[in-house]
Structure 1
Amino acid sequence: MIPTKKISIAMADDHAMLRKGLIKLLTVIGNYDALFDVDSGNEVIEQLKNHKIPDVLILDVNMAGRDGQQTAQWVSSHFPQVKILALSMFNDEATILRMIQAGAKGYITKNNDPEKLKEAIDTLYQKGIYLPESLSEKLFSGIKNNVLAIPEEPGLELTAKEKEFLSLLTQELSYKEIADRMFLSPRTIDDYRIKLTKKLNVKGKSGLIIYAINNGLR
């Protein structure tokens, strides 16, 4: 019997105990070859430049320095053959959309058990994409509400405050937290939300987030 090819994996997460524990466990329960585990996006880049190129890269979304989104953008641009599986504590549509926009082909939350992570890796390797049903509903809801929107008119200009609001919206902040950051009342922030959805001709929070990401406001 010809042995099945091992899937090469790598992981970036700035929580060393979690990262090393998961990598060790994955090599026990799955048919994997662990190429490297590091604690930052910059180290991922160094490893890839040194020709350690995994089939699947498990990438923490929130890391100090070069975060998961920035790392995913670099990896997908320079090593598109690497399948990126985003790993996060968050399951909101803003985070999911940002990572998929950045090049991730899969997304899983940290509250899942190791067997679910194994399933995600195997599915991503075999099919090229992985998104559990609970998260795909959030994602497609966001896309549905924005994809049919009429593009903005050429020359449409945003004020500095509007750009700041859109930028903060991509950072997983609540409207109250955005109000605090901008030193404005929640009512004023709500007015920004309503006016911008009309001005940009998008629908809901996800539409504003997609606009901000597509226009570099993050």
Structure 2
Amino acid sequence: MPANQAIKKYTVAIADDHRLIVQSLSQLINNIPGFEVIIQAINGSALLEELSKATIQPDIAILDINMPVMNGVVTAREISTRFPLIRLLALSMNDDESSVIQMIRSGCRGYLLKDSTEAELEKAMTEIIEKGFYYSEYVTGKLIHTIHKEEKEQEQGIKLSEREMEFLKHAASELTYKEIANTMKLSERTIDGYREALFEKLQVKSRVGLVLFAIRLGWVSAG
């Protein structure tokens, strides 16, 4: 790499009501090559205020779930609506499945426990930014058991065409939309059409939501 070519840095925002965690996490992330923390906040409301006046929006925001004033779920929904280009990662002590679902349904592209390793944190941030989502073993392995029977019965009434189902299975992989188009021998514009149609039909707003919906109903494998 030429000496005068700077390494691209991904920018990060953190919201957690424990100041020591924010400081420690910021230091850890700043020591990872290619990442820089530009916003620190002690709750969701403070984070939204900082985002509203920031001249540079972060690539990713890391959110705790249990925060005073505005918790992680509400914060994720607000950011998804007001700042849709910011990717969201939930980072929490909570390992119950309902917390995972709440955060992902609110717009988070991944979910990590606070006892995760630095390597997993780096992997999660990188994949969320570059691929759009990150599935930890916990999310992929256990999430499918969280849907109540009556909810599943309601959702079973949704019908997909053969091509929509094929697209959905590819969407659950690590293929990019361009690679999915090549695999299905369709144009990228047609693939975009399938994606938007399924967003509307399944009432989800992101690829993560799309895939999790399919996993919950057993349409694609979580493994």
1:142: how far off? 2.7
TM-score after normalising by structure 1: 0.65
Q: Does the alignment pair 1:40 with 2:38?
A: no
Cα distance in structure 2, aligned partners of 1:30 and 1:63: 29
Within 5 A, what are the aligned runs for 1:45-60?
Answer: 45-51=48-54, 52-60=56-64
In the alignment, which of 20, 36, 41 is matched to residue 17 of structure 1? Answer: 20
**Deviation by residue 1:151-177 (Cα, 9 ceiling, x = unmatched):** 6xxxxxxxxxxxxxxxxxxxxxxxxxx
Aligned residues: CA RMSD: 2.2
User: What are structure 2's unaligned runs of at least 5 residues?
Assistant: 156-215, 217-223
Q: Does the alignment pair 1:86 with 2:90?
A: yes
Residues 126 and 65 from structure 1, CA distance in 2 versus in 1: closer, same or farther, beyond 3 angstroms? Answer: same
Residues 25 and 146 from structure 1, CA distance in 2 versus in 1: closer, same or farther, beyond 3 angstroms? Answer: farther
Q: Does the alignment pair 1:124 with 2:128?
A: yes
Within 5 A, what are the aligned runs for 1:110-121?
Answer: 110-121=114-125
TM-score after normalising by structure 2: 0.63
User: What are structure 1's unaligned runs of at least 5 residues?
Assistant: 152-209, 211-218
1:19: how far off? 1.0
Q: Which amino acid aligns with 2:119?
A: E
Report which of the two structures shows the higher radius of gyration computed on alpha carbons. Answer: 1
Within 5 A, what are the aligned runs for 1:63-212?
Answer: 63-143=67-147, 148-150=152-154
Q: Which amino acid aligns with 1:59?
A: L
Contact 1:92 1:138 survives alignment (8 Å)? no
Percent identical = 32
SS in 2 for 1:149: helix
Cα distance in structure 1, aligned partners of 2:13 and 2:43: 12
Cα distance in structure 1, aligned partners of 2:142 and 2:76: 21
